[in-house]
Amino acid sequence: MQEIPIQIILVGNTKEDLILEDLICTNIMQRGIGNVNPMKMARCIAELERIYGIRQGSAGGNGSNQYLNKELDGNNFAQAKSQNDLAIQIGIDQRQLQNYKKLNNLIPELQSMVENESIKATVAYKIWAKMPQEEQEKFFEDIGKEKIKTFF
């Protein structure tokens, strides 16, 4: 027998996840990386990692996949997607992907300021995101929103 009929079943992705993945990727590609709000990009990356089952990076920092996704090799076996694969898919390097992800660690007030461009994303992930959330909250309360806009 030269051919054997098979049925491929996607594991780990619901129909809603597949639709959401398509919408996110299409939106990013149509707008272009430079035109996507950094905070929105951070949320999209987190959602795509959830859909693909990409965990936080391992000791090697490769962001391995804990679940199967829809990419198949020539033998119809699912291949794991890494953070680097995701970065390539959306057209950025892995370091920039990591920087976007750091924005998700900000307190809501700072996320809002990044989203409405009151503070730059680079300041947010290079300074603010390195602090524990309790320190972010205290610093935010001590300094105040208006001074943060002025200094950062």
Helix 108-115 to helix 38-52 angle, to the nearest 10 degrees? 120
> Residue 73's pLDDT band (boundaries 50, 70, 90)?
very low
What's the whole-number average pLDDT of the chain? 78
> Does 16 share its domain with 79?
yes
Number of domains in the chain: 2
- pTM across the whole model: 0.70
> Does 71 share its domain with 132?
no
Reduced to 3 states, what is the DSSP secondary structure of residue 33? helix
> Does 76 share its domain with 147?
no
Interatomic CA distance for residues 43 and 45, integer angstroms = 5
> Does 71 share its domain with 23?
yes
pLDDT tens string 14-39: 788 888 888 888 777 776 666 678 99
> Does 101 share its domain with 111?
no
> Does 56 share its domain with 123?
no
> Does 78 share its domain with 149?
no
> Does 84 share its domain with 118?
no
pLDDT tens string 84-118: 999 998 889 999 999 999 999 999 999 999 999 99
Interatomic CA distance for residues 56 and 16, integer angstroms = 23
Give residue 146's domain range. 106-152
> Does 83 share its domain with 129?
no
Region of 132 on the Ramachandran plot (φ > 0 left; ψ -120 to 50 alpha; else beta): beta
> Does 6 share its domain with 20?
yes
Reduced to 3 states, what is the DSSP secondary structure of residue 16? helix
- Checking if the pLDDT of 65 tops 70, the result is no
